Amino acid sequence: MTYEIVGTPLPVVTCTLQAGEKMITESGAMCWMSPNMLMETSTNGGIGKAFGRMFSGESMFQNIYTAQGGQGIIAFASSFPGSIIPFNISPGNSIVVQKKGFLAAEAGVQLSVFFQQRIGAGFFGGEGFIMQKLSGQGMAFAEIDGSVVEYTLQPGQQIIVDTGYLAAMTETCQISIQRIQGVKNVLFGGEGLFNTVVTGPGKVYLQSMPVSSLAQSIIPYIPSKG
């Protein structure tokens, strides 16, 4: 499989498959394909994995596309203005992405739910509690809200992230929460009660415009009914 990512601010990844090669995706991500691409809808791993994907924000069912009789093409589009990031998944090189961040992957990649080890990160860290883990073998594509900024953290090195801005990280990273200090900071700082702390070693992918932040920005400009 080869691929090309084009377009801004609504990118699309076009994948070229050889005969017999397969791609998996969530429902609604495919935007165009050649006539020889066969689609099958499946739980892809059984009902247990299907429920796990549901908890991580995806559909219980996945679409599997197979190139038949020769080379085929299939394209997957982002659902929000932003970026599509490719990840080369392999054993020991798993990636954890934000809820609903998975776009598509080769059939050798498994999608499962990823819970943070510290429950506090779930109750106070926003959407960071339930994420998606991409493991197995193959190329995978994730959609990022806005632009992406990458950091490589050394062992013990940390970065503090506002809720919603963590798009992805390597599985070697750890997440915890940090309470914002000071009453005035909490009441008037506009940053909420907690921040997310990511600790290395590993790579961190941050996004510049989470969907939740965009929604909050445009709410004041939506006319109210009256």
CB 208 within 8 A of CB 146: yes
In Å, what is the CA distance from 111 to each residue of 132, 140, 153, 194?
7, 10, 25, 29
Length of the chain: 226
pTM score, two decimals? 0.81
Q: How far apart are the first and last CA of the chain?
A: 55
Report DSSP state, residue 48.
Answer: H
Which mean pLDDT values do the consecutive 10-residue runs of the chain (226 residues) have? 92 97 88 96 59 51 93 94 95 92 94 68 51 95 94 97 90 83 46 78 93 71 71
CA 99/CA 130 separation, integer angstroms: 7
For the chain, the structural domain boundaries read: 2-215
Q: Which CATH number fits domain 2-215: 3.40.630.30, 3.40.50.10470, 3.60.150.10, 3.60.160.10?
A: 3.60.160.10
* Radius of gyration, alpha carbons of the chain: 19
In Å, what is the CA distance from 7 to each residue of 4, 63, 77?
10, 24, 10
Q: What's the confidence (pLDDT) of residue 106?
A: 97
- Amino acid in position 220: P
In Å, what is the CA distance from 119 to each residue of 28, 128, 129, 169, 226?
32, 11, 8, 18, 42
In Å, what is the CA distance from 168 to each residue of 40, 177, 179, 219?
28, 16, 22, 27
For the record, the structure tokens of 94 come out as 């798993």
Q: What's the confidence (pLDDT) of residue 185?
A: 43
- Which run of H or of E encompasses 29? none
Q: What's the confidence (pLDDT) of residue 163?
A: 76
Q: What's the confidence (pLDDT) of residue 181?
A: 56
CA 151/CA 34 separation, integer angstroms: 37
CA 99/CA 56 separation, integer angstroms: 6
Q: How many CB atoms lie within 10 A of CB 108?
A: 15
